[in-house]
Amino acid sequence: MAGTRRRIRLALLFGGRSTEHAISCVSAGGVLRALDPDVYDVVLVGIDPSGRWVVLPGADALASAGGELPSVTASWGTSVVLAPDPTASHLLPRDATEAIHGPLGDIDGDIDVVFPLLHGPFGEDGTVQGLLEMAGVPYVGSGVFASAAAMDKQHMKSMLRAAGLPVGPYAVLRAGQTLSEADQERLGLPVFVKPARGGSSIGISRVDAWADLDTAVKTARANDPKVLVESAITGREIECGVLGRLDGPGAQASVPAEITVTSSAGFYDFEAKYVSDQTRFDIPARLSPAALARVQQVAVAAFEALDCAGLARVDVFVTPEDQVVVNEVNTMPGFTPMSMFPRMWEASGITYPQLVDRLVRLALRDGAGLR
Ligand SMILES: Nc1ncnc2c1ncn2[C@@H]1O[C@H](COP(=O)(O)OP(=O)(O)O)[C@@H](O)[C@H]1O
Ligand SMILES: [Mg+2]
């Protein structure tokens, strides 16, 4: 046992209803291994693809995944709910006759802090954050507004632009809308067509001829009725981690990384992200001192413009003229030990366990509610 001091009861929330379910499970395994068991009493709460919350009695299901990508299944353990009631902010068994079984026996369900390690809709978009606010439980990362704003590429761009930050030209196609000729002329070819609220490059195509636009819009709409069409930016793909400061307000930037894709698609698609070995990651990115400083400055400014908290990964393009253009802001970036965000911090002197610990401490410091 942990001596006299009570351990921090942390609920690790992972899986979820989005297409990034498996990535979230892998990230959860990494975070679990990084949490000091003398400090943290971890409750593993998996969300299955249909949205059911299940408490895992032990970490075996995450560890034994072998070569297969893990996935949460309802048979893992007790089904629970979190009541949106701050006077009873604990996990409740869905079946009142059942107990919540943790690795060390039955648990009462009280939670000090939640790590919502979820990507995409119903996780990274403010919805889970809203539930946690209602329940009055502190949680890692951005609040409701920043999560929702960063998830929607339309609003993310308009907020960054309003803050004077550089974003590329784009058009928004709501359900049923098509790209006008004026917009075709304004954007020029090639364009990128993407779901407004997607992730992991799912549903994204590069279009080199207007004849292919309809198919690309249909592909994007399979994921989201709202679609963005963006001018292709010519530049290097650079990512930068941003992390809240524990010793005061504000945030700091990591050393940036560069992604070089050589696969046939020609951009950082799902294959290049998770499957191909043709993708090169340079950490730190080899940038001129001026471009490096500009990337870090833009990353922190984007974090602040969206009112982010805790962590974010800001992805930019650096043009041949060393101009920085923001592509997107991820409020819950991939978090496996091999993911870019932890690796960029590792290269900046913060180890993976230190990173996880800092995020939880930031959440506990800031609490739930207006902050
Ligand atoms: N406007 C653009 N210009 C050039 N490349 C782009 C553009 N938009 C997207 N891409 C390419 O597609 C990838 C995925 O797009 P992104 O907007 O980051 O979507 P996701 O949220 O799914 O990661 C980028 O990493 C980049 O390789
Ligand atoms: Mg991206």
Question: If you average pLDDT over every residue of the chain, what do you get?
Answer: 92
For residue 294, the one-letter residue type is R
The dihedral of CA 20, 26, 28, 34: what is its sign?
A: negative
d(CA 334, CA 146): 17
Does position 190 have pLDDT exceeding 80, yes or no?
yes
- Residue 41 beta carbon below 6 angstroms from any ligand 1 atom: no
- Which atom of ligand 1 sits closest to the CA of residue 202? 22
CATH number, domain 8-139, options 3.40.50.1010, 3.40.50.410, 3.40.50.20, 3.30.70.360: 3.40.50.20
Report the pLDDT averaged over residues 226-246: 97
pLDDT bucket at 275, cuts 50 / 70 / 90: confident
Report the pLDDT averaged over residues 30-53: 93
Quick check: 8 and 364 in contact, CB under 8 A? Answer: yes
Cα Dmax for the chain: 70
- Give Cβ neighbours of residue 93 (< 8 Å, ≥ 6 apart): 78, 79, 80, 99, 100, 109
- Residue 273 beta carbon below 6 angstroms from any ligand 1 atom: no
- How do residues 334-358 score in pLDDT, each as one tens digit? 998 889 999 999 999 999 999 999 9
d(CA 186, CA 227): 17
267: closest CA among 277, 285, 279? 279
Quick check: 123 and 53 in contact, CB under 8 A? Answer: no
- Residue 200 beta carbon below 6 angstroms from any ligand 1 atom: yes
CA-nearest residue, atom 15 of ligand 1 = 201
Question: Could you say which ligand is closest to the alpha carbon of residue 202?
Answer: 1
At residue 63, the pLDDT reads 58
Domains 149-166+234-366 and 170-231 belong to one CATH topology: no
d(CA 73, CA 15): 10
Centre of ligand 2 to C-alpha 55, Å, is: 31
Report the pLDDT averaged over residues 152-168: 98
CA 210 to chain centre: 32
Quick check: 74 and 80 in contact, CB under 8 A? Answer: no
CA-nearest residue, atom 19 of ligand 1 = 201
- Give Cβ neighbours of residue 121 (< 8 Å, ≥ 6 apart): 17, 18, 127, 151, 197
At residue 263, the pLDDT reads 79
Stated as kind and residue range, the H or E segment containing 344 is helix 340-346
At residue 223, the pLDDT reads 92
- The CATH homologous superfamily of the domain defined by 149-166+234-366: ATP-grasp fold, B domain (3.30.470.20)
Centre of ligand 1 to C-alpha 327, Å, is: 7
Beta bridge partners of 191: 207, 231
pTM: 0.94
- Which of 18, 267, 326 to probe ligand 1 with, by most ligand atoms within 8 A of CB? 267
Report the pLDDT averaged over residues 40-64: 84
Question: Could you say which ligand is closest to the alpha carbon of residue 199?
Answer: 1
Stated as kind and residue range, the H or E segment containing 134 is helix 127-135
- Residue 279 beta carbon below 6 angstroms from any ligand 1 atom: no
pLDDT bucket at 2, cuts 50 / 70 / 90: very low
For residue 193, the one-letter residue type is V
- Residue 221, Ramachandran bin (φ over 0: left; ψ between -120 and 50: alpha; else beta): alpha
- Which atom of ligand 1 sits closest to the CA of residue 268? 27
Centre of ligand 2 to C-alpha 199, Å, is: 6
Centre of ligand 1 to C-alpha 234, Å, is: 12
- How do residues 289-323 score in pLDDT, each as one tens digit? 999 999 999 999 999 999 999 999 999 999 999 99
CA gyration radius, the chain: 21
| Half-sphere exposure at residue 341, Cβ-oriented, CA atoms within 13 angstroms | 25
Task: At 188, list the tokens.
Answer: 């020029």
At residue 60, the pLDDT reads 65
Centre of ligand 1 to C-alpha 201, Å, is: 7
- Residue 233 beta carbon below 6 angstroms from any ligand 1 atom: yes
pLDDT bucket at 4, cuts 50 / 70 / 90: low
Question: What is the third-level CATH fold of 170-231?
Answer: Dna Ligase; domain 1 (3.30.1490)
d(CA 323, CA 72): 43
**What percent of the chain is predicted at pLDDT more than 70?**
95
Nearest 5°: the CA angle 119, 347, 320 is 80
At residue 66, the pLDDT reads 57
At residue 142, the pLDDT reads 98
- Residue 328 beta carbon below 6 angstroms from any ligand 1 atom: yes
- Which of 197, 206, 327 to probe ligand 1 with, by most ligand atoms within 8 A of CB? 327
Domains of the chain, residue spans: 8-139, 149-166+234-366, 170-231
pLDDT bucket at 288, cuts 50 / 70 / 90: very high
For residue 349, the one-letter residue type is G
